[in-house]
Amino acid sequence: MLSELAKPVMYLSGVGPKKSELYEKLGVKTVYDLLYHFPRYYIDLNEPQAVRDAPLNEQVVLKGRVVRKLPEGNIRRGLTVYKAIVTDDTADITIVIYNAGFMFKALEVGHEYYLVGKLTGNMLRREINSPQIYPVAGTDPVQPVYRLTEGLTQKQLRQNVHTALGALDGSIYEPLPNDVVREQGLCSLSYALQNVHYPTDMHTLELAKSRLVFDELLTLALGMLMMKNRSRDNTGCQMNDESVDEYFSALPFELTAGQKSAINDCIEDMRKPFPMNRLIQGDVGSGKTAVAAGAAYFAYKNGCQTALMAPTEILAGQHYDTLKAFLEPLGVKVVLLTGSLTPKKKEKIKAEIAAGEYNVIVGTHALVQASTEFKRLGLVITDEQHRFGVEQRAMLAGKGDHPHKLVMSATPIPRTLALMIYGDLDISVLKELPKGRQPVETYAVTGKLRERAFGYVKQYLEEGRQAYIVCPMIEESDSDLRDVKSYAKEISEGAFSGYRVGLLHGRLSAESKEKVMKKFKAHELDILVSTTVVEVGVDVPNAAVMVIENSDRFGLSQLHQLRGRVGRGEHKSVCILITDNPTEEVVQRLKILSSCHDGFEISQQDLKLRGPGDFFGSRQHGLPKMKIADMSQDMDVLVRAQETAKQILCKDTHLDKGENRGLRELVERLFEQETAND
Ligand code: ADP
Ligand code: MG
């Protein structure tokens, strides 16, 4: 990198120690960081609206001439109002400024200004309160708006960026190999940086942005692929060609085509000399466990142990039951190892595992962390791994004698996004649900119909079914949300008095959670009031109804995951989405769930409606944070970036070559930043 750019921002003329502290708060340490502190958005002054046509109560851009300045008025002590009349010859408008006398004084009669703000009043008497005012002469037509911190103004930041751009001036600083720039039709980096901060019009801005977005996604793709390559050391458990036909024929059902091909993908992977790194992605109920069992059976046939890890004891127990049912008839020994066993029992089981008496070991994640010794661990399967970050995956990859790894996830992410998030994994997708599965009937209703909805639930309870009622939060502070505790109390004394109501939320200890869940599973409870902790793959086939309160608070994908908790048995199932916020938009959104039962399609809709926040907001995937790329919008760039990354790494695995040095720096910067922030 240019040495000028690596300098602390403090040494930039016009910054100094005090301001550099403010910059630090924005995450800006060096001149480079400042150049990459991109505007949050832009105000385009190029096309002001005619005052006559400008809508009320919306942010508008106007351009007009000051006709008259009115005498200042004092509303009360300490509050002075300044007014001026402006016209653009289509209509007049009154500028209202509070207290900021200097702004008012700067206005000159007869001069033209851009005004940015909200219009109020009516069509006859329009006002604009505390607008941003720019003199037409000497103002750049596209104004960037930056994220600020107290003590720093837009103007100062803009000026400092200007100085920083000077450090680039005339240089040929270019981290991308020349042929990539050419093939992708990108502008130069210095042009991009110049124009992302100082665009002359929206077109140059687009050019600049597309360059920077490409850089960012290419860097991310390179990092993910390099991570994948890193875990490609030889495995200690390369497996031979052994058929798993017995497994297929012993199952009580016919596997779906997706399940079969996913199992075949696994088998093919495990025959290779380096470890498998595969993600099985399938909607709720698509039968991922049967795939996992198939892979485990293959490992067994090759004399290897399999460890299956689940995030909770309940899930571990569930997987244990399933695997046992599928595999024990075939002679496979399955064991459950969880924290709730007595120490003595645990020791015994551990000794037996080490002696190789078990082939498949099911347990919670603590299982691997604990010093469990295996006989010949060939396959590690993790469920719901999407809650873990990229780094944890990399860490796991470094453990043991490079066992094969299989990850199961129900997060229905569109394939392109999955490719990025799980860039270090190969993916098998289970597209269809097993035959005969009835979709969960879904209704969206307003709070007014709550009583009726409850009546409906009661019918199910009378027939011996069970129900979930999901409420988003436990916090009492958020007054418009129902707090689950008081909610549970309310309904158990009111609408559902006489029924057995249990409560499950995130603040309970793991032990208490397990207890409640076990009781629900054993049908010692009729209704389970819960926060979203119930989201993870719990299987209670007798639960056939779900009510979701405040459903507008959830993304569609999450709602879909939630309703996947019902409809797992032979009973007809229903999900009732209640909202007390029945705006047109909310209702439209919730209705999608009534007609659509495909998790992938729903997640696409979610992306369209809500943006990528659900996937990337909480950093639940552990991906580095993007500064300018928006992975839902820039999908095609994502694909191009990935292709390019593959081509580059194909010729230069570690980015050692001279022309790739700049790229390596970018990758290191992106991923290093991530670790520093955590
Ligand atoms: P998920 O993908 O949500 O983890 P599971 O593996 O828990 O789904 O499977 C859900 C249910 O469907 C289980 O009871 C399982 O036995 C059953 N199942 C799996 N595959 C099939 C199939 N091909 N045909 C019928 N039932 C199946
Ligand atoms: Mg599951």
The rounded Å distance from CA 334 to ligand 2 centre is 18
Q: Of all atoms in ligand 1, which is nearest to the CA of residue 289?
A: 6
Ligand that comes closest to the CA of residue 540: 1
Per-residue pLDDT band for 417 (boundaries 50, 70, 90) equals: low
Mean pLDDT check: name the lowest of 87-96, 444-453, 604-613.
604-613
Side-chain-facing half-sphere of 74: CA atoms under 13 Å: 3
pLDDT single digits (tens) 117-131:
999 988 788 999 999
Q: Is 255 in the pocket of ligand 1 (CB under 6 A)?
A: yes
Q: Is 537 in the pocket of ligand 1 (CB under 6 A)?
A: yes
Q: Of all atoms in ligand 1, which is nearest to the CA of residue 254?
A: 23
- Looking at per-residue confidence, does 382 or 233 come out higher? 382
CB atoms within 10 A of CB 655: 19
Whole-number pLDDT of residue 536: 60
The rounded Å distance from CA 539 to ligand 2 centre is 8
Burial of 179 (0-12, 13-18, 19+ CB in 10 A): exposed
Q: Is 434 in the pocket of ligand 1 (CB under 6 A)?
A: yes
Q: Of all atoms in ligand 1, which is nearest to the CA of residue 288?
A: 2
Is the model's pLDDT at 630 over the cut of 80? no
Q: Is 289 in the pocket of ligand 1 (CB under 6 A)?
A: yes
Is the model's pLDDT at 634 over the cut of 50? yes
What's the rounded mean pLDDT across residues 295-316? Answer: 89
Structure tokens at 153: 């103004």
Q: Is 323 in the pocket of ligand 1 (CB under 6 A)?
A: no
Angstrom distances, CA of residue 415 to CA of 224, 391, 418, 427, 543? 16, 21, 5, 9, 31
The rounded Å distance from CA 147 to ligand 1 centre is 48
Whole-number pLDDT of residue 655: 92
Ligand that comes closest to the CA of residue 259: 1
**Angle in degrees, CA 437, 439, 444, rounded to 5:** 165
**E strand residue ranges, 37-111:** 41-44, 59-69, 73-76, 79-87, 92-98
Give, using CA atoms, the residue closest to atom 20 of ligand 1. Answer: 287
Q: Is 599 in the pocket of ligand 1 (CB under 6 A)?
A: no
Q: Of all atoms in ligand 1, which is nearest to the CA of residue 292?
A: 6
Is the model's pLDDT at 114 over the cut of 70? yes
pLDDT single digits (tens) 470-481:
987 655 444 445
Per-residue pLDDT band for 449 (boundaries 50, 70, 90) equals: very high
The rounded Å distance from CA 670 to ligand 1 centre is 40
Ligand 1 mutation target, pool 280, 284, 288, 289, most atoms within 8 A of CB: 289
pLDDT above 70 coverage of the chain, percent: 86
Q: Of all atoms in ligand 1, which is nearest to the CA of residue 259?
A: 23
What's the rounded mean pLDDT across residues 608-615? Answer: 56
Whole-number pLDDT of residue 599: 82
The segment with the largest mean pLDDT, out of 228-232, 316-320, 598-602, 616-620, is 316-320
666 closest CA partner among 638, 634, 624: 624
What's the rounded mean pLDDT across residues 386-394? Answer: 53
Q: Is 505 in the pocket of ligand 1 (CB under 6 A)?
A: no
CA dihedral (479, 483, 487, 490) in degrees, to 10, reads: -60
Question: What b/e sequence results for 194-215 when a residue is b if at least 16 CB atoms lie within 10 Å of its CB, and e otherwise?
Answer: bbbbbbeeeebbebbbbbbbbb
Q: Supply the pTM of this predicted model.
A: 0.65
Structure tokens at 513: 């959670």
Is the model's pLDDT at 390 over the cut of 60? no
CA distance 246 to 248: 5
Whole-number pLDDT of residue 368: 57
Is the model's pLDDT at 89 over the cut of 90? yes
Give, using CA atoms, the residue closest to atom 17 of ligand 1. Answer: 287
Is the model's pLDDT at 653 over the cut of 70? yes
The rounded Å distance from CA 287 to ligand 1 centre is 3
Q: Is 258 in the pocket of ligand 1 (CB under 6 A)?
A: no
Q: Is 288 in the pocket of ligand 1 (CB under 6 A)?
A: yes
pLDDT single digits (tens) 555-596:
888 888 889 888 877 788 999 999 988 888 888 889 999 999
The rounded Å distance from CA 288 to ligand 1 centre is 7
Q: Of all atoms in ligand 1, which is nearest to the CA of residue 564?
A: 3
- Domains along the chain? 48-140 (2.40.50.140), 441-596 (3.40.50.300)
Q: Is 223 in the pocket of ligand 1 (CB under 6 A)?
A: no
Side-chain-facing half-sphere of 269: CA atoms under 13 Å: 24
Q: Is 256 in the pocket of ligand 1 (CB under 6 A)?
A: yes
